[in-house]
Amino acid sequence: MSNKTLIIEERARDIGDFLVGRLLPFRKKRMIGPFIFIDHMGPSQLGNGRFMDIGNHPHIGLSTLTYLFEGEIEHRDSLGTVQRITPGDVNWMSAGNGVVHTERTPADFRESNVEHTVHGFQIWLASSKEQEQAPAFFHHSPKETLPFWEEDQIEYRLIVGEAFGRKSPVPTGGLECFMLEIKTKALRTIKTKGKLSGEIGWCVVKGSVKACGEEIGAGNLLYSKNTDDCSVEVSPDAHLLLFGGNPFTEERRIDWNFVASDLALIEKAKEQWINKEMKMVPGDDSYVPYPGR
């Protein structure tokens, strides 16, 4: 997704055992596990003639993960998918060797012109080298299919991957990753030893977390340098996204909406898009140009 009015950015800084800063990517940490891009949408008021309208745009070499707290979005793609996403659902689109999609306010919201809030995250996970040239696919997982549990006044919902001895139904194409939504009812310490695998990022949506004697508030991303073994104090009534996984051995390149282990794949996709050679969303003639063209 490309809507700069809905992105929260913070500068990175080192506080000892952790890096804290803007949502991915930021200067000192380009990826956390396979997660390469996190875009915080809102909260933003839509309606009264103002809608989400992100036209045809392409992806390669990554999977998009859409997760909403409020509002609704209609996803359409060049595979023929038409899927409305509501809060707590997961839209997972694996771009593979190429896919095009749109994201818009649903028709009934437009017709009623009612004011509504959109708040959530658009997330990219780089594909494994084996999967970055595989055929694209789309999968929708309703909220009720995701593992949910409560323990010691902490609510957990496993959005994707494996964590805390549970597994999400979202197909990840073999990626070793995890993402959880966490809400606290009281001051609590969350310990991850033996419950997660790989690098860990803590995205503070609401409330705060405390690490290395410093308090980190909403809108920041906390990265643990101590892979799969950290302890973080979380404020009451906090709302977090906890994510990460095992990093790749190969570097990933990112250019606009394209991700690949080989720059030649990005250049090929770029030329295809500029020359309008990619399959578009059926019935939609919109076109988001490559930046600068």
Provide CB contacts within 8 A for 174, sequence distance 6+. Answer: 128, 130, 131
For residue 3, pLDDT beyond 70: no
Q: What is the mean pLDDT of residues 150-167?
A: 96
Quickly state the pLDDT bin for 227 (edges 50, 70, 90).
Answer: low
Residue 214 has what pLDDT? 80
Residue 11 has what pLDDT? 47
When the pLDDT of each residue in the chain is averaged and rounded to a whole number, the result is 87
- For the sheet with 99-104, list strands across it: 53-59, 99-104, 73-77, 82-85
Three-state DSSP class for residue 234? strand
Segment among 13-17, 39-43, 78-82, 272-276 with least mean pLDDT: 13-17
Residue 23 has what pLDDT? 60
Q: Judge contact between 15 and 214, C-beta under 8 A.
A: yes
| Residue that is written with structure tokens 């009934």 in the block | 108
Quickly state the pLDDT bin for 2 (edges 50, 70, 90).
Answer: very low
| Residue that is written with structure tokens 């036209």 in the block | 55
Residue 285 has what pLDDT? 95
Q: What is the mean pLDDT of residues 130-148?
A: 96
Q: What are phi and psi of 210, to 5 degrees?
A: -125, 130
Q: Judge contact between 88 and 123, C-beta under 8 A.
A: no
Residue 16 has what pLDDT? 46
For residue 189, pLDDT beyond 90: yes
| Residue that is written with structure tokens 């609590």 in the block | 188
Quickly state the pLDDT bin for 119 (edges 50, 70, 90).
Answer: confident
* More confident site: 179 or 50: 179
For residue 212, pLDDT beyond 90: no
Q: What is the mean pLDDT of residues 55-67?
A: 96
Residue 242 has what pLDDT? 94
Domains of the chain: 4-274 (2.60.120.10)
Q: Which of 81-95, 117-131, 227-241 has the highest mean pLDDT?
A: 81-95
Q: Which of 60-69, 107-116, 208-217 has the highest mean pLDDT?
A: 60-69
Quickly state the pLDDT bin for 128 (edges 50, 70, 90).
Answer: very high
The whole model's pTM is what? 0.89
Residue 225 has what pLDDT? 67
Give the span between the Cα atoms of 91 and 161, in whole angstroms. 14
